[in-house]
Chains A and B, each alone.
Chain A
């Protein structure tokens, strides 16, 4: 290979920079990620689906809920455990999760996600 003595160090520097997000924190001991502490609904024991599933998939569920309710006219959700829910962000989700700041925002903020749900959907009163 031509110019090995320039190319190889160059490659190494590139690799080091490129992978830095994966190890820099550990090596230099900066910023460790802490899972945000969410305020869960006080009077509710279970969500429409298991917690792990909700954590990973709530955005897809909301997307499907919107299409099912508005386009298909199907506003009743029979969960995998047979429980029946009303397909509605404001009238089902937010009736339990009454504290948007302590529930939605905590994760969204630490993950730099800014959904614009609340530009149209009314935040629950429990938030104020």
Chain B
């Protein structure tokens, strides 16, 4: 009896092993696409390093800012939540908040009174990517710091890591603050418990379109490839005095401001 029980266990364990490896490899084989292929979009815009230059002198009235913010928030179903839990992709702030270490005691009145666009800087050395435990935030080869909301676990390390406060957390279901009849059906909303931010309109670039805010700014914001010496961003940078936010934290932002 003792021996046969031993034999039974041997046979049983071997068959379980065989069955599970069969299931496992079968699953992988099935999951492989049947000769299908994935390619980048043919008419998509490509760059070595995407960057944005904002001509802050050209934004004078609140409406100048408003059209861009509206274009961005409409394209990405960003809710307008009227309290301190609001979601921000593109917003404005004062000089001393945007450039805290770059202020002087007696600045020109125009700088003191001017508003400045703020958004994710798509940094060259993004601390938000480094601290994200799930790789929900990652840097694409073209310099865009992107997010995969499917993977975000809402730990908010990226919010702590970002020196620019460029990220927002969904403390409640954003759909409660969106008119679901009015949302852009081409872009997802987010859900309770994930972080979000500007994505440099990666989905529009893939379709060959410029970012929504750039399009709405009608020349006041320039967007292009920093690695291409012939690009418009390089020309604008060569001809104007520009600054970036918080140079001393070393993240090398991809958003430049003409002052």
CB distance A80 to B35 under 8 Å? Answer: yes
Q: CB of B186 within 8 A of chain A?
A: yes
Q: Which of B38-46, B84-92, B238-246, B249-257 contacts A (4 or more CB under 8 A)?
A: B38-46
Give CA–CA (A75, B39) in the complex, Å: 6
Asked if A66 meets B150 with Cβ closer than 8 Å, knowing A56-B30, A76-B41, A90-B186, the reply is yes
Given contacts A64-B33, A66-B150, A68-B38, contact A90 B1 (CB under 8 A): no
Which among B140, B149, B185 has the highest number of chain A CB atoms within 10 Å? B185
Classify chain B: how many residues form its interface, as a range: 35 or more
**Cβ of A70 and Cβ of B146 under 8 Å apart?**
yes
- For the complex, give the distance between the alpha carbons of A70 and B136 in Å: 10
Contact with B along A82-125 (1 / 0, CB 8 A): 00000100110000000000000000000000001001111011
**Distance in angstroms between the alpha carbons of A60 and B31 in the assembled complex:** 6
* Structural contact, B33 and A90, CB atoms closer than 8 A: no
Taking the complex as formed, is B190 at the interface, i.e. its CB lies under 8 A from any CB of chain A?
yes
State which residues 25-75 of A face B: CB under 8 Å.
Answer: 49, 53, 56-57, 60-61, 64, 66, 68, 70-75
Chain A contacts of B146 at CB under 8 A?
Answer: 70
- A70 → B minimal CB distance (Å): 5
Given A119-B191, A120-B190, CB of A125 within 8 Å of CB of B38 = no
Q: Does A11 contact B (CB under 8 A)?
A: no
Cβ of B216 to closest chain A Cβ, rounded Å? 22
Given A90-B185, A125-B185, residue A73 in contact with residue B140 (CB < 8 A): yes
Measured in the bound complex, the distance between the Cα atoms of B35 and A49 in whole Å is 11
Whether the pair B149, A120 counts as a contact (CB closer than 8 A) is yes
Given known A-B contacts A70-B148, A90-B186, A120 and B33 have beta carbons under 8 A apart = no
B141, B183, B190, B191: residue with the most chain A Cβ atoms closer than 10 Å: B191
The proximity string for B residues 173-195 relative to A, scoring 1 for CB distances below 8 Å and 0 otherwise, is 00000001001111111111000
CA distance A68 to B41 in the complex (A): 12
Considering the chains assembled together, what is the distance between the CA atoms of A49 and B32 in angstroms?
Answer: 13
Complex contact A80–B36 (CB within 8 A)? yes
Contacts A120-B188, A121-B188, A122-B189 known; A74 to B40 CB distance under 8 Å?
yes
Shortest distance between the CB of B79 and any CB in chain A (Å): 13
Q: Which residues of B contact A70 (CB under 8 A)?
A: 146, 148
Q: Mask for B1-28, Cβ within 8 A of A = 1, else 0?
A: 1000000000000000000000000000
B38/A57 in contact, CB under 8 A: no
B132 to chain A, nearest CB (A): 14
- Considering the complex, give the chain B residue whose CB is closest to the CB of A94: B185
Chain A: CB-nearest residue to B147: A70
Q: Decide: B38 and A49 in contact? CB cutoff 8 A.
A: no
Expressed in whole angstroms, the Cα–Cα distance for A72 and B144 within the complex equals 12
Q: Is the CB of B38 within 8 A of A76?
A: yes
Residue A79 at the B interface, CB < 8 A?
A: yes
Q: Contacts A71-B138, A125-B185; is A77 near B30 (CB within 8 Å)? A: no
**B206 with A75: CB separation less than 8 A:** yes
Cβ of A78 under 8 Å from chain B? yes
Interface residues, chain A, with chain B CB atoms under 8 Å away: 1, 49, 53, 56-57, 60-61, 64, 66, 68, 70-80, 87, 90-91, 116, 119-122, 124-125
16 CB < 8 A contacts A-B: A61-B33, A64-B38, A68-B38, A71-B148, A73-B206, A76-B41, A76-B42, A77-B36, A77-B38, A80-B34, A91-B186, A119-B192, A120-B189, A121-B188, A122-B180, A122-B188
Q: Beyond A78-B39, A122-B185, list 9 extra A-B contacts (CB 8 Å).
A: A56-B30, A66-B148, A66-B150, A68-B38, A73-B44, A74-B40, A78-B36, A80-B35, A120-B149
